[in-house]
Amino acid sequence: MLRMSTLFLRTLREDPADAEVPSHKLLVRGGYVRRIAPGIWSWLPLGYLVYRNIERVVREEMDNAGFQEVHFPALLPREPYEKTHRWEDYGDNLFRLQDRKKADYLLGPTHEEMFTLMVKGEYSSYKDLPLCIYHIQIKYRDEARPRAGILRAREFVMKDSYSFDVTDEGLEKSYQRHREAYISTFDRLGLKYEIVSAMAGAMGGSKSEEFLAPCETGEDTYVKCPACGMAANVEAIVTQKLPELDAHDVPAAHVENTPDTPTIASLVEISNSRSELRRADRDWQASDTLKNVVVMQVAVDGTRTPLVIGLPGDREVDLKRVEAALHPIELEAFEEEDFKKYPALVKGYIGPQVLGEKSVSGIRYVVDPRVVRGSRWITGANKPGHHVYDLVAGRDFDWDAVMEAAEVRQGDACSNCGEELSIARGIEIGHIFQLGRKYAEALDLKVLDENGELVTVTMGSYGIGVSRAVATIAEQSHDEKGLIWPREVAPADIHIIAAGKDDLPFDTAEKFAQELEVQGVRVLFDDRRGVSIGVKFNDSELLGIPTIAVVGKGLNDGVIEMRDRKSGEQQLVPVDAFVSTVVDLCR
């Protein structure tokens, strides 16, 4: 039994000054967590109870699915990560350290290497597969900017599973088993979530889906189609394919003097205001202009090459999407100095006529899928103060590739069914990947197949943010008064308040609390004497135990007040029926 009189807890009346998001404010105010360093948190008794409940649910669901739990250290040697290049690829995000002999170690950001090597050490036959193993361990990532309390921390707990199969079909099955296990896990945790298709990103591999908890404070943006149900992270979304256009009646391209048109808006305005530039059938719009954005690509070996991205002028480039498409190449801003090195690129007036790997400049040119063959554009003439009109894609210029580079907008057409997409934000609470053979290859994990041939194993990797789930539930489940825990993860089933100054309510509440404990109900008992009722009520609402019982003046009428924290509904329960009512409620 948790007794408020002795519980290691101090609730705060005011929000901490450095907190921004609800989960951060409420978990700190409620005395669930305290900050130790940026992105590094301590759990106080109530917080640790919630954390352990979530961990328990995750573990039970993994075990139910038939996965086996192992446990790796958080402190790991460098070598395996060297072999998969992640010692370098992770960059500054990796916590590195040395032992007394100056040997390199790291604090594991995730454990693909270790799992792969463990299986390699034990298994060597296809008969041993498939295999799914997992562990729950503290992970370390030296995030450039931890934020939002424990939502994005540098030390956090993750459940990560790995599947090992001989065939692609086997991998698909293991993947689906995890998908189902995740659905039941998050359902039990009371989380609302969407399953969206995602990019594999730095993990490598092919198919990948994210479990996103819809939430304004989430860092991931995803789209959803209300009609067909398609859902995808913006990084993974595919633009609706547009048909090629017939451009036989478009006049030949012509260069025009368009001074003082550094922006798309000014270009559109001048194009509509000058009669010789005007379009016959309608006004020019920003989407008629072809904006060419130049960025610097940085390859893994540090080589820098420019990349020009062509897209309609009313769209912005979404660098996240470009990087997702280009991975592992990274992007940097194209600086003033870079323009000097590439005279073909005229700042503000870049046009595709001089671009492309096969062109004189040799600069790679990619276009947004909206730039279809036959489409007609106004774009830069590669000469300061000049634009070219009626430049037709495929007739007057070409490109090296089509790339998903433009920002995704609310109302864009679904690539699947054409309906308007809606856009939302979410917190990544789980991610499932088909890794394929990347790690098995790098670490040489092979088994003999039924023909006695050595084959490389194919793997999947599946993560759940356990500590993040605490904050995510808090984000999704609170009101202006405080937290509202789903019973499965709550630090207690019932919060019993003894009210008044007489012994009777305290003695009665004490008796109830003990009887309930015997019945297996988890009780938080506010047995503090001399604390005013208002404080107790406010604390109970802040702490967010799903059921609150007040043992006080109702005793005169032989009743206990029971309140549902979430709905606020109150019912008066006869004293004699109290214990059985609570037991029924919590069962």
Partner RNA sequence: CGGGGCGUAGCGUAGUGGCUAGCGCGCCUGCUUUGGGAGCAGGAGACCGCGAGUUCGAGUCUCGCCGCCCCGACCA
Helices (H) and strands (E) in the chain, counts: 14, 32
Min dist. Cβ of residue 560 to RNA (A): 8
Min dist. Cβ of residue 320 to RNA (A): 6
Output the CA–CA distances (angstroms, integers) from residue 322 to 199, 303, 308, 330, in the order listed: 12, 18, 11, 9
Closer residue to RNA in complex, CB, 8/249: 8
Min dist. Cβ of residue 75 to RNA (A): 17
Q: Side chain identity at 165, as an amino acid letter?
A: D
DSSP state of 540: H
Min dist. Cβ of residue 21 to RNA (A): 7
Min dist. Cβ of residue 254 to RNA (A): 37
Closer residue to RNA in complex, CB, 353/472: 472
Closer residue to RNA in complex, CB, 201/385: 201
How many angstroms separate the CA atoms of 338 and 214, rounded? Answer: 41
Output the CA–CA distances (angstroms, integers) from residue 297 to 95, 173, 397, 403, 460, in the order listed: 26, 37, 23, 14, 30
Closer residue to RNA in complex, CB, 288/541: 541
Min dist. Cβ of residue 248 to RNA (A): 41
Closest CA to 193 of 224, 228, 162: 224
Give the orientation angle of helix 168-188 with respect to helix 45-64, to 10 degrees: 140
Phi-psi region of 201 (alpha: psi -120 to 50; beta: other; left: phi over 0): left
Closest CA to 136 of 217, 67, 223, 229: 67
Closer residue to RNA in complex, CB, 256/479: 479
Q: What share of the chain is helix, strand, coil (3-state, %, to 5)?
A: 30, 30, 40
Closest CA to 474 of 464, 482, 466: 482
How many angstroms separate the CA atoms of 131 and 165, rounded? Answer: 7
Min dist. Cβ of residue 250 to RNA (A): 36
* Span between the terminal Cα atoms of the chain, in Å: 17
Dig out the tokens for 406 from the structure: 């433009």
Closer residue to RNA in complex, CB, 202/417: 202
Closer residue to RNA in complex, CB, 166/549: 549
Min dist. Cβ of residue 124 to RNA (A): 28
Beta strands in 258-335 (DSSP E): 289-298, 304-312, 330-332
Min dist. Cβ of residue 393 to RNA (A): 27
Closer residue to RNA in complex, CB, 323/527: 323
Tokens 């769209």 appear where? 315
CA dihedral defined by 391, 392, 396, 400, rounded to 10 degrees? 110
Closer residue to RNA in complex, CB, 370/431: 431
Min dist. Cβ of residue 225 to RNA (A): 23
Burial class (CB in 10 A: 0-12, 13-18, 19+), 458: buried
Closer residue to RNA in complex, CB, 216/420: 216
Closer residue to RNA in complex, CB, 452/534: 534
Q: Angle at CA 491, nearest 5°, toward 488 and 492?
A: 85
Closer residue to RNA in complex, CB, 105/537: 537
How many angstroms separate the CA atoms of 163 and 459, rounded? Answer: 5
Beta strands in 381-539 (DSSP E): 386-392, 401-402, 422-436, 446-448, 454-456, 458-465, 478-479, 482-483, 494-498, 523-526
Closer residue to RNA in complex, CB, 152/438: 152
How many angstroms separate the CA atoms of 224 and 115, rounded? Answer: 35
List residues near RNA by CB under 7 A: 10-18, 20, 35, 37-39, 90, 93, 109-110, 139, 141, 143-148, 152, 158, 160, 200-203, 219, 319-320, 323, 330-331, 428, 431, 463, 465, 481, 499-501, 530-535, 537-539, 541-542, 550, 552-554, 561
Min dist. Cβ of residue 165 to RNA (A): 20
- Longest C-alpha distance within the chain, in Å? 96
Min dist. Cβ of residue 337 to RNA (A): 15
Q: What three-state secondary structure class fits 81?
A: helix
How many angstroms separate the CA atoms of 328 and 44, rounded? Answer: 40
Closer residue to RNA in complex, CB, 201/214: 201
Min dist. Cβ of residue 200 to RNA (A): 7
How many angstroms separate the CA atoms of 132 and 162, rounded? Answer: 6
Min dist. Cβ of residue 43 to RNA (A): 17
- Length of the chain, please? 587
